[in-house]
Amino acid sequence: MASSKDIILSAVLNLLSAFAFLVAFAILRLQPMNDRVYFSKWYLKGIRASPRTSGTFVKKFVNLDCRTYLRFLNWMPAALRMPEPELIDHAGLDSAVYIRIYLLGLKIFVPLALLSFAVLVPVNWSGKSLEKTEGLTFSAIDKLSISNVPDASKRFWAHLVVAYVVTFWTCYILYKEYHIITTMRLQFLASENRRPDQFTVLVRNVPPDPDESVSEHVEHFFCVNHPDHYLTHQVVYNANNLAKLVEKKKSYKNWLTYYQTKYERNPKIKPKTKTGVWGLWGKTVDAIDYYTTEIEKLSKEETIEREKVMSDPKAIVPAAFVSFKSRWGAAVCAQTQQSSNPTIWLTQWAPEPRDVYWNNLSIPFVELNIRKLLMTVAFFFLTFFFMIPIAFVQSLASIDGIENKLPVLRPLIQMEVVKSFIQGVLPGIILKIFLILLPMILMAMSKIEGYTSLSSLDRRSATKYHFFILVNVFLGSIITGAAFEQLQRFVDEPPSEIPKTVGVAMPLKATFFITYIMVDGWAGIAAEILRLVPFIMFHLKNTFLVKTDQDRQQATDPGSLNFSVSEPRIQLYFLLGLVYSVVTPILLPFIIVFFAFSYMVFRHQIINVYDQKYESGAAFWPDVHRRILTGLVISQLLLLGLLSTKNISKSTPVMIALPVLTIWFHIFCKGRYESAFVKFPLQDAMVKDTLERATEPTLNLKAYLKNAYVHPVFKGVELDRPSAVDDEENNPLVPTKRSRRNSKSHSEEGV
């Protein structure tokens, strides 16, 4: 158990680390050679020009103006200066709403911290239960927790009252925020410029037809069932192999550029490479000749594969992007059932073109369900097997555990500085390292499940990551042990005993979570603004691959908000704040620092750096709202379990009302607001259509949508389209093989 000294040492180390990161960033961002790394968004918008284009040679790389270094922290007020409407125009609604999550944390926890410190801290401190217990080891922080209140004390009623205040205040703030964000979303959609996805629906599981191709079948179906609104469609090709060839060719071109640049700098030495994987083994050959030959081979393979995809009917999958003449027509199609068989002609709003995850469009409907089942089973085992490293991390937090397992290290770990470092810093660092690879695994699992857009992949991965953090980082850190021991323990116990088991152990782990917050939420966020990996990669590419300004722009990685990772991380802080606001209030200031610091850092990154991969119109907000309420219910159940061990009469009926009220509040908000995030109102669609027809009467919508949903590997290539598609405007009910055959049989019957 970490003592007050350990916490102080951890705070000092993490504050120094955060300060070092911030100073390094403040200095590096002033250097002209780093301008594209720390202001990449402005370059993408074409607003900012490189400061390296003028001045002396040294000034092109290093900022020699001493006055700018005196104002090296001016990025902080600048990050807060841009008003929210301008931020939405600049970065999109997704980014603006994401920032509001941090602001939401401040709105919830700052008043709760003031209340808890005014009421609960004096109540806990004066309880003196720990001092009266013989043989018990505790720290000064434990004196501020509920553990210091003696059993059956009337002081616990203060905790019950605060629990009610926490619940009502959290629900009140969440309700106001849900209303604000719903209004922001509707206004954003109403004012948004024309986009292809506003007119387009993704149709999946197109049933096979013996007489018609997929393209003809799609056209026939929508001409018949949406005769007044259907405009055009784009079938989906299974071009995954072609995409791999294109990506491999791009990689080889980068290597060729690298070796050509290397040779130009030193013409006396011809660059060599090995033909094996990553150039580590195999036959040694001339690098320029090798990559030139390989690129030529790939170009031929690419041409053959492209012709094969475009000419082979089997390469067309039973899915299509269907576009309509109006937003109203698309909304009707996307939000209704198209067939009496609910497993075919499945329609949904098409993602915006840059949001499409093309690799998953070719997965059959039946296979999707099998994949989801397999990934659910795999995720279950991943979650519980991961308790093994979590248990190891927790054992590090115990000096006695290390001494028992590694007695050789006893003289070393008994040193005060080493002991404080092990208990106050090391567990949080190791837990952070264990969690680095996890998001990549969860994203791979979501891709296997078959989601068709990057935004849905992010939301699904975030759901997995949130559950994983809840089970392993929170519950797994509170109750340590081997994975199967924990699983068996929870299986054997009645469900009513689980809150009691976790509740008893909860106050004892407050110090561990304080150290984790400082490592992840202080130093970790400060490291985010430094962007060390993109910084290094840019300068490596700029040195070895860049020849033109276009190359330099491609070498810049602006990054984006990694929603699948960052949002579940925020939810852990909401959970810890809601759980410990009543149990150990001393945790709240650390969480408030995280929310305030993160708000400032990510606002700066969104304004100056990040370039979002897609825009979903804050479609993720209902998930955020639900997870915060889930954390609130968990905090109530754990407090109920803890108080049930304290011999408090009548506490159970009083506490059981809170989760009931919270669940009712969730159902109310879901019914009141969630439809705005999953459906597009027909009234709003009609308003936008009417306004557009009035302002742009000559708009050629078909030309605008023609290549919007063409696979990226076909960009710039003219696809063979059925001639019937071009005749659609003159004849909405285009004759097809089946319709011609049917009309012929009818005429014969008439004869």
Average pLDDT for 350-366: 85
Using 50, 70 and 90 to split pLDDT, how confident is the model at 526?
confident
**Which of 108-117, 424-433, 487-496, 697-706 shows the lowest per-residue confidence on average (mean pLDDT)?**
487-496
* The pLDDT of residue 64 is above 70: no
Closest CA to 602 of 555, 553, 565: 565
Buried b (16+ CB within 10 A) or exposed e, 136-145: eebbebbbbb
SS3 per residue for 334-356: HCCCCCCCCCCCEEEECCCHHHE
For 214, phi then psi, to 5°, come to -60, -40
- How crowded is residue 127: how many other Cβ atoms within 10 Å of its Cβ? 21
Distance CA(300)–CA(298), nearest Å, equals: 5
* Alpha carbon separation from 357 to 333, 334, 354, 630 (Å, rounded): 22, 19, 8, 30
264-278, 646-660, 696-710 — which one is most confidently predicted on average? 696-710
What mean pLDDT is predicted for residues 170-198?
Answer: 93
Q: Is the pLDDT of residue 392 over 90?
A: no
Question: Is the confidence at residue 409, as pLDDT, over 60?
Answer: yes
Which residues share a beta bridge with 272? Answer: 286
- Residue in the structure block whose two tokens are 């490189």: 50
**What integer is the mean pLDDT of 496-515?**
69
Rounded CA separation 331/354 (Å): 20
Query: Cα–Cα distance between 546 and 533 in angstroms, integer?
Result: 18
Confidence band (pLDDT; 50, 70, 90) for 139?
Answer: low
Q: Rank 51-65, 288-302, 324-338, 511-525 by mean pLDDT and report only the highest.
A: 324-338
Chain-centre distance for alpha carbon 14: 25
Q: How far apart are CA 687 and CA 684, in angstroms?
A: 5
Token pair of 281, please?
Answer: 């083994």
Instruction: Identify the residue with better confidence: 132 or 682.
Output: 682
Q: Could you say which DSSP state residue 500 is in?
A: H
pLDDT band at 93 (very low <50, low <70, confident <90, very high): very high
48-57, 274-283, 517-526, 604-613 — which is least confidently predicted? 48-57
Query: What does each C-alpha distance from 376 to 24, 380, 474 come to in angstroms?
Result: 43, 6, 21
**Quick one: pLDDT band at residue 201, thresholds 50, 70, 90?**
very high
The DSSP annotation for 271-327 comes to -EEESSGGGSSS-EEEHHHHHHHHHHHHHHHHHHHHHHHHH-GGGEEEEEEEEESSH
DSSP characters over 101-143: HHHHHHHHHHHHHHHHHHHHHHHHHTT-TTTTSTT----HHHH
Helix (H) or strand (E) holding 232: strand 230-237
What is the pLDDT, as a whole number, of residue 495?
Answer: 62
Query: Counting beta carbons within 10 angstroms of the beta carbon of residue 719, is it exposed (0 to 12), middle (13 to 18) or buried (19 or more)?
Result: middle
Given this model, what pLDDT does residue 457 score? 94
Banded model confidence at residue 422, pLDDT cuts 50, 70, 90? low
d(Cα 110, Cα 456) in Å, to the nearest integer? 33
Owner of token pair 């995850």: 357
Higher pLDDT residue, 554 or 15?
Answer: 15
As a whole number of angstroms, the distance between CA 435 and CA 390 comes to: 10
Confidence of residue 167 (pLDDT cuts 50, 70, 90): very high
* Of 180-189, 317-326, 645-654, 733-742, minimum mean pLDDT range: 733-742
What CA–CA distance (Å, rounded) separates 166 from 115?
A: 9
Q: Whole-structure pTM over 0.85, yes or no?
A: no
Per-residue pLDDT, 116: 92
- Measured between alpha carbons, how far is 48 from 36 in angstroms, rounded to an integer? 9
Top pLDDT among 477 and 380 is at 380
- CB within 8 Å of 180: residues ≥ 6 apart: none
Q: Which two tokens stand for residue 632?
A: 């609130």
Lowest mean pLDDT among 453-457, 488-492, 688-692: 488-492
Q: How confident is the model at residue 368 (pLDDT cuts 50, 70, 90)?
A: confident
The H or E element that residue 714 is part of is: none
The pLDDT of residue 426 is 65
Most confident among 127-141, 168-182, 230-244 (mean pLDDT):
168-182
> Can you say whether the dihedral through the CA atoms of 737, 741, 747, 751 is positive or negative?
positive
Q: Given pLDDT bands bounded at 50, 70 and 90, which one contains residue 730?
A: very low
Phi-psi region of 451 (alpha: psi -120 to 50; beta: other; left: phi over 0): beta
Rounded to the nearest integer, the mean pLDDT of the chain is 81
Instruction: Determine the 3-state secondary structure of 202 from DSSP.
Output: strand
Q: What percentage of residues in the chain have a pLDDT greater than 90? A: 34
714 HSE (CA, 13 A, CB side): 24
Q: Which residue has the higher pLDDT, 370 or 489?
A: 370
pLDDT at 751: 36
For 116, left (φ over 0), alpha (ψ -120 to 50), or beta? alpha
Q: Which of 240-244, 528-532, 691-695, 738-742 has the lowest mean pLDDT?
A: 738-742
**Separation of alpha carbons 84 and 90, rounded Å:** 10
Alpha-carbon torsion (307, 308, 311, 317), positive or negative: negative
The sign one gets for the Cα dihedral 414, 415, 421, 424 is positive
